[in-house]
Amino acid sequence: MTETNSELKNIIEAALLVAGQPLTMEKLLTMFPEESRPTRDEVRAVLQALELEYAERPVELKQIDRAWRFQTRAKYASWVARLAEERPQRYSRALLETLAIIAYRQPVTRGDIEEIRGVSVSADIVRTLLERGWVREVGVRDVPGRPALLGTTREFLEHFNLKGLEDLPPLAALRDLEAIGAELDQRLEQGRTPEGDAGPPVRAAGAAEHEAVAAGMPQPAERE
Protein backbone atom coordinates (compact mmCIF):
# COMPACT_ATOMS: atom_id res chain seq x y z
CA MET A 1 0.00 0.00 0.00
CA THR A 2 1.43 3.39 -0.96
CA GLU A 3 2.07 6.11 1.61
CA THR A 4 -0.92 8.08 0.31
CA ASN A 5 -3.25 5.10 0.54
CA SER A 6 -1.86 4.25 3.97
CA GLU A 7 -2.73 7.72 5.23
CA LEU A 8 -6.18 7.48 3.63
CA LYS A 9 -6.67 4.18 5.46
CA ASN A 10 -5.65 5.80 8.77
CA ILE A 11 -8.13 8.66 8.27
CA ILE A 12 -11.03 6.37 7.42
CA GLU A 13 -10.19 3.97 10.24
CA ALA A 14 -10.10 6.82 12.76
CA ALA A 15 -13.42 8.21 11.52
CA LEU A 16 -15.13 4.82 11.79
CA LEU A 17 -13.75 4.26 15.29
CA VAL A 18 -15.10 7.52 16.71
CA ALA A 19 -18.35 7.76 14.75
CA GLY A 20 -21.48 7.21 16.79
CA GLN A 21 -23.31 5.72 13.82
CA PRO A 22 -22.57 3.83 10.59
CA LEU A 23 -20.93 6.04 7.96
CA THR A 24 -22.00 6.02 4.33
CA MET A 25 -19.66 6.46 1.40
CA GLU A 26 -21.00 10.00 0.95
CA LYS A 27 -20.31 10.84 4.59
CA LEU A 28 -16.76 9.50 4.41
CA LEU A 29 -16.06 11.55 1.29
CA THR A 30 -17.18 14.78 2.99
CA MET A 31 -14.12 14.59 5.27
CA PHE A 32 -11.83 15.50 2.38
CA PRO A 33 -11.44 18.84 0.55
CA GLU A 34 -12.81 18.68 -2.96
CA GLU A 35 -9.40 19.20 -4.55
CA SER A 36 -7.90 16.20 -2.72
CA ARG A 37 -10.94 13.99 -2.37
CA PRO A 38 -10.30 10.27 -3.00
CA THR A 39 -12.41 8.36 -5.48
CA ARG A 40 -15.14 5.99 -4.40
CA ASP A 41 -13.06 3.09 -5.64
CA GLU A 42 -10.15 4.19 -3.44
CA VAL A 43 -12.38 4.42 -0.37
CA ARG A 44 -13.97 1.08 -1.19
CA ALA A 45 -10.51 -0.48 -1.45
CA VAL A 46 -9.60 0.92 1.97
CA LEU A 47 -12.79 -0.49 3.48
CA GLN A 48 -12.00 -3.90 2.03
CA ALA A 49 -8.45 -3.70 3.41
CA LEU A 50 -9.78 -2.79 6.87
CA GLU A 51 -12.27 -5.64 6.74
CA LEU A 52 -9.42 -8.08 6.09
CA GLU A 53 -7.17 -6.48 8.69
CA TYR A 54 -9.81 -6.86 11.42
CA ALA A 55 -10.87 -10.35 10.34
CA GLU A 56 -9.12 -12.03 13.30
CA ARG A 57 -9.77 -9.31 15.88
CA PRO A 58 -12.53 -9.04 18.51
CA VAL A 59 -13.73 -5.93 16.62
CA GLU A 60 -15.02 -6.23 13.05
CA LEU A 61 -15.87 -3.82 10.25
CA LYS A 62 -19.53 -4.41 9.40
CA GLN A 63 -21.54 -3.10 6.45
CA ILE A 64 -25.07 -2.04 7.39
CA ASP A 65 -27.19 -1.30 4.34
CA ARG A 66 -25.06 1.33 2.50
CA ALA A 67 -22.95 2.29 5.52
CA TRP A 68 -20.07 0.87 7.57
CA ARG A 69 -19.23 0.72 11.29
CA PHE A 70 -16.86 -0.96 13.69
CA GLN A 71 -18.51 -3.24 16.24
CA THR A 72 -17.55 -5.93 18.70
CA ARG A 73 -18.06 -9.45 17.43
CA ALA A 74 -21.19 -11.23 18.61
CA LYS A 75 -19.22 -13.78 20.66
CA TYR A 76 -17.96 -10.96 22.92
CA ALA A 77 -21.23 -9.03 23.18
CA SER A 78 -22.29 -10.60 26.50
CA TRP A 79 -19.09 -9.37 28.19
CA VAL A 80 -19.25 -5.88 26.71
CA ALA A 81 -22.94 -5.60 27.61
CA ARG A 82 -22.05 -5.85 31.30
CA LEU A 83 -20.64 -2.33 31.07
CA ALA A 84 -24.19 -0.99 30.75
CA GLU A 85 -25.28 0.77 33.92
CA GLU A 86 -29.00 0.96 33.18
CA ARG A 87 -31.34 -1.99 33.04
CA PRO A 88 -32.28 -2.60 29.37
CA GLN A 89 -35.81 -1.87 28.29
CA ARG A 90 -38.11 -4.85 27.89
CA TYR A 91 -40.42 -5.17 24.89
CA SER A 92 -43.75 -6.95 24.89
CA ARG A 93 -44.43 -10.11 22.91
CA ALA A 94 -47.04 -8.20 20.86
CA LEU A 95 -44.49 -5.55 19.90
CA LEU A 96 -41.89 -8.11 18.84
CA GLU A 97 -44.45 -10.07 16.81
CA THR A 98 -45.56 -6.84 15.11
CA LEU A 99 -41.95 -5.95 14.27
CA ALA A 100 -41.32 -9.41 12.78
CA ILE A 101 -44.43 -9.15 10.60
CA ILE A 102 -43.38 -5.73 9.31
CA ALA A 103 -39.86 -7.01 8.55
CA TYR A 104 -41.08 -9.95 6.47
CA ARG A 105 -44.22 -8.54 4.87
CA GLN A 106 -43.31 -4.88 4.31
CA PRO A 107 -44.83 -2.65 3.31
CA VAL A 108 -47.84 -3.46 5.50
CA THR A 109 -50.67 -1.59 7.20
CA ARG A 110 -51.97 -2.05 10.72
CA GLY A 111 -54.88 -3.93 9.15
CA ASP A 112 -52.46 -6.40 7.53
CA ILE A 113 -50.74 -6.98 10.86
CA GLU A 114 -54.05 -7.50 12.64
CA GLU A 115 -55.13 -10.02 10.01
CA ILE A 116 -51.95 -12.05 10.53
CA ARG A 117 -51.92 -11.86 14.34
CA GLY A 118 -55.67 -12.29 14.70
CA VAL A 119 -55.90 -9.48 17.26
CA SER A 120 -55.95 -5.69 17.12
CA VAL A 121 -52.66 -3.78 17.10
CA SER A 122 -52.32 -1.10 19.75
CA ALA A 123 -51.45 2.37 18.52
CA ASP A 124 -48.86 2.45 21.31
CA ILE A 125 -47.00 -0.48 19.71
CA VAL A 126 -46.73 1.26 16.35
CA ARG A 127 -45.76 4.53 18.04
CA THR A 128 -43.02 2.76 20.03
CA LEU A 129 -41.58 1.17 16.90
CA LEU A 130 -41.62 4.55 15.13
CA GLU A 131 -39.98 6.32 18.08
CA ARG A 132 -37.38 3.56 18.43
CA GLY A 133 -36.48 4.18 14.79
CA TRP A 134 -36.96 0.55 13.70
CA VAL A 135 -40.04 1.33 11.58
CA ARG A 136 -41.13 4.24 9.39
CA GLU A 137 -44.10 5.17 7.23
CA VAL A 138 -43.14 4.48 3.62
CA GLY A 139 -46.39 5.59 1.97
CA VAL A 140 -50.13 5.03 2.04
CA ARG A 141 -52.35 2.37 0.53
CA ASP A 142 -54.74 3.72 -2.08
CA VAL A 143 -57.93 2.48 -0.42
CA PRO A 144 -60.60 4.26 1.61
CA GLY A 145 -59.00 5.78 4.68
CA ARG A 146 -55.56 5.70 3.02
CA PRO A 147 -53.88 3.68 5.82
CA ALA A 148 -50.16 4.18 6.34
CA LEU A 149 -47.77 1.57 4.95
CA LEU A 150 -45.00 0.56 7.36
CA GLY A 151 -41.49 -0.65 6.58
CA THR A 152 -38.23 -1.14 8.45
CA THR A 153 -35.35 1.35 8.60
CA ARG A 154 -31.56 1.36 8.53
CA GLU A 155 -31.68 1.56 12.34
CA PHE A 156 -33.54 -1.77 12.32
CA LEU A 157 -30.76 -3.33 10.24
CA GLU A 158 -28.15 -1.76 12.50
CA HIS A 159 -29.68 -3.03 15.73
CA PHE A 160 -30.20 -6.56 14.46
CA ASN A 161 -26.79 -6.64 12.77
CA LEU A 162 -28.11 -7.14 9.24
CA LYS A 163 -26.37 -5.93 6.09
CA GLY A 164 -29.75 -5.86 4.32
CA LEU A 165 -33.18 -7.43 4.35
CA GLU A 166 -31.83 -10.31 2.29
CA ASP A 167 -29.92 -11.35 5.44
CA LEU A 168 -33.14 -12.09 7.30
CA PRO A 169 -33.26 -15.82 8.09
CA PRO A 170 -35.55 -18.08 6.03
CA LEU A 171 -39.15 -18.27 7.09
CA ALA A 172 -39.80 -20.98 9.63
CA ALA A 173 -42.72 -23.32 9.10
CA LEU A 174 -45.66 -23.26 11.49
CA ARG A 175 -43.91 -21.28 14.19
CA ASP A 176 -45.85 -20.24 17.26
CA LEU A 177 -46.07 -16.46 17.62
CA GLU A 178 -45.48 -16.58 21.38
CA ALA A 179 -42.31 -18.63 20.92
CA ILE A 180 -41.04 -16.26 18.23
CA GLY A 181 -41.74 -13.23 20.41
CA ALA A 182 -39.73 -14.82 23.22
CA GLU A 183 -36.81 -15.50 20.86
CA LEU A 184 -36.79 -11.93 19.59
CA ASP A 185 -36.77 -10.64 23.16
CA GLN A 186 -33.85 -12.90 24.05
CA ARG A 187 -31.85 -11.76 21.03
CA LEU A 188 -32.59 -8.14 21.84
CA GLU A 189 -31.02 -8.74 25.23
CA GLN A 190 -27.92 -10.20 23.57
CA GLY A 191 -27.65 -7.24 21.24
CA ARG A 192 -27.78 -4.42 23.81
CA THR A 193 -25.12 -1.75 23.32
CA PRO A 194 -23.60 -0.36 26.53
CA GLU A 195 -23.60 3.40 26.98
CA GLY A 196 -20.92 5.46 28.65
CA ASP A 197 -17.44 6.68 27.83
CA ALA A 198 -15.40 3.52 28.26
CA GLY A 199 -13.47 3.88 25.03
CA PRO A 200 -14.58 4.75 21.48
CA PRO A 201 -18.19 4.13 20.43
CA VAL A 202 -17.65 0.69 18.95
CA ARG A 203 -21.05 -0.97 18.86
CA ALA A 204 -21.83 -4.40 20.23
CA ALA A 205 -23.12 -6.74 17.57
CA GLY A 206 -26.91 -6.97 17.45
CA ALA A 207 -29.19 -9.96 16.91
CA ALA A 208 -29.16 -11.11 13.33
CA GLU A 209 -30.93 -14.45 13.53
CA HIS A 210 -34.58 -13.79 14.46
CA GLU A 211 -37.34 -15.97 13.03
CA ALA A 212 -40.45 -15.41 10.90
CA VAL A 213 -43.91 -15.04 12.37
CA ALA A 214 -45.96 -17.55 10.40
CA ALA A 215 -45.72 -20.10 7.63
CA GLY A 216 -46.37 -19.02 4.08
CA MET A 217 -45.13 -15.43 4.27
CA PRO A 218 -43.33 -14.27 1.12
CA GLN A 219 -39.67 -13.38 1.23
CA PRO A 220 -39.10 -9.64 1.85
CA ALA A 221 -38.55 -7.46 -1.18
CA GLU A 222 -35.21 -5.76 -1.47
CA ARG A 223 -35.18 -2.13 -0.47
CA GLU A 224 -34.14 0.43 -3.01
Reference 99, options 20, 23, 207; nearest CA is 207
CA–CA gap between residue 219 and residue 173 (Å, rounded): 13
DSSP string, 105-152: H-SB-HHHHHHHHSS---HHHHHHHHHHTSEEEEEE-SSTT-PEEEEE
Is the domain spanning 3-81 CATH 2.60.40.10? The answer is no
3-81 shares its CATH topology with 93-204: yes
Q: Give the tens place of pLDDT for each residue, 82-98.
A: 786 666 567 788 898 89
Domain boundaries, the chain: 3-81, 93-204
CATH fold label, 93-204: Arc Repressor Mutant, subunit A (1.10.10)
Average pLDDT over residues 8-36: 92
Three-state secondary-structure class, residue 67? strand
Question: Model pTM?
Answer: 0.54
By percentage, how much of the chain surpasses pLDDT 90? 38
CA–CA gap between residue 74 and residue 54 (Å, rounded): 14
Q: Give the tens place of pLDDT for each residue, 178-223.
A: 555 555 555 555 444 433 333 344 444 443 333 333 333 333 333 3
Q: Is 161 left (phi over 0), alpha (psi -120 to 50) or beta?
A: left
